[in-house]
Amino acid sequence: MKWIRMVAIAVSVLLFAVRVSAKDPVYQLSTHMLDVSQGAPAADVAVALYAAEEDGSWRLVAERRTDGNGRVGDLLPHGGPNGNDGVYRLRFETEPYFAARGLGSIYPYVEVTFRIAGDGHYHIPITMSANGYSTYRGN
């Protein structure tokens, strides 16, 4: 009798996992912005993702705003193996963020250009103050 209950629980967990994964798309790209001068996430910053076209132009892929934790997790749906391979650019609209805090910034925006190759997850954050920034591939 005990094993029947265990099997029923395992089947329930499996069905729940399948249902959740079927509803929730998987994204290959995420980002966040941290304000190192405040030691806090930068919330409500406009972020745009662009893809490089073969003719050298840039195509807008997504526009989002950072959440309360300074993050954007749903920029680029997973395209499968090599489905999203290419060169991309993230543009962070930093000037309005710093202006709202009474700070001038030498950077009206920050653009980070990077390459996606394969089906791994890419997390491209920036750490920023009004007078400097840094970026890296996170996880």
Q: What is the pLDDT of residues 28-43, one digit of tens each?
A: 999 999 999 999 999 9
Q: Residue 19 has what pLDDT? A: 44
Domains and CATH numbers, the chain: 26-135 (2.60.40.180)
**pLDDT of residue 1 exceeding 90:** no
| Distance in angstroms (rounded) separating the CA atoms of residues 31 and 54 | 25
Q: Residue 29 has what pLDDT? A: 95
Q: How far is CA 52 from the centre of its chain?
A: 18
Residue 69 · residue 32 · CB < 8 Å: yes
Q: What is the pLDDT of residues 62-106, one digit of tens each?
A: 999 999 999 999 999 988 777 899 999 999 999 999 999 999 999
| Distance in angstroms (rounded) separating the CA atoms of residues 49 and 87 | 11
**pLDDT of residue 21 exceeding 50:** no
- Closest listed residue to residue 131, CA positions, set 54, 64, 59, 37: 37
Among residues of the chain, what percentage have pLDDT more than 90?
Answer: 73
State the alpha helices, DSSP H only, in 44-135.
Answer: 94-99
**pLDDT of residue 6 exceeding 60:** no
φ, ψ for residue 56 (rounded to 5)? Answer: 95, -5
